[in-house]
Amino acid sequence: MNYFLTEEQQFIREISAKIAKEKILPVRAELDEAQEFPWEIVKVLADSNLFGVYIEEKYGGTGGGVLDLCIAVEELSRVCGGISLCLAATALGTFPLILFGSEAQKQKYLPGIAEGKKIVAFALTESGAGSDAGAIQTTARREGDYYVINGTKQWITNGGEASIYTVIAMTDKARGSRGASAFIVEKETPGFTFGKKENKMGIRASATRELIFQDCRVPVENLLGKEGQGFIVAMKTFDASRPGVAAQALGIAQGALDEAVTYARQREQFGKPIISFQGIQFMLADMATKVEASRALVYAVARAVDRGETKIAKESAMAKLFASDMAMQVTVDAVQILGGYGYMKEYPVEKMMRDAKITQIYEGTNQIQRTIIASHLVKEQAGRK
């Protein structure tokens, strides 16, 4: 289907697909098993300018937007959802800089990110603050020209591997979520260390680590926006980044559909390929329809973000919700179509099913997405009266 992509976007799709097939496919199982961060792939993506597709040209990017990022993430995730996160999670950590960074901050950090020399992580979640982002306990206390950060962040994608971290901490606990602020923290900052690397069910080629701050002194100029804007920074970041999670889910689902169709054409039972059986045909037809519907929604929302639409939270949540639920269903169905083979690690669909699950959880669980969508529906209805 023609999604009215520009020549540049078509090129992004082609180069991403080429990298996925030639560089990621041969190593995806090995990196998944070893839980090894894909630094060689990072270099390839950097050399292909994919880290800069959503960054303005004046900061070293290619001047695209969220749709360009989604196209790249989709194609990489079609082969490996875990490896694609080195790019997608860097974008998540970079959006706070793009949206709220000062000109000096952008000039300092964005060129290295666009070149792929610096990967980034976003640090909001804690052991007691996931869906309830306002419950974070990490603090940042102003002392002269520095903020002193203390606390622990949990389940941070790219943790330990990233050079730059955007961190949400409380500067005034008495104000609740309005007392949170956002900071740029560099990896080598004294007082900033890492805890355990998580042993995960899926996305195992992506590093997920605990971040530990013990009297970590961050210069005042590393404050993003103003004090008390941390929660706004996080929410606006998610509005821009959730289409990227949806694109990851979309790519995983498309990859699973590809594998299911290929297998169904080759596998014979009762003297004929199983794709000739109506039961299998109907499963594949439903899978393909859901994938295509998700793609239309993801691209539409990404375009809305790129147009600068500010009231996008509902639609962004819808894209993430629909695509991730779809990916979970499609990958489960792909395993079912492959039968016993689908359950074996020699075939990729079991990995795709494992990878798909996290897309229903991170950057806001799908229950939270439904809450966001419903709250906006209530407000919109009230506004019509």
Known catalytic residues are 363
Give the residue from 102, 181, 111 showing the smallest Cα distance to 139: 181
Task: Show Cβ contacts of residue 272 under 8 Å, excluding neighbours closer than 6 positions.
Answer: none
Helix axes 103-114, 85-100, angle to 10 degrees: 160
> What does the alpha-carbon distance between residue 183 and residue 218 come to, in Å, rounded to a whole number?
8
Answer for the pair 48, 15: CB distance below 8 angstroms, yes or no.
yes
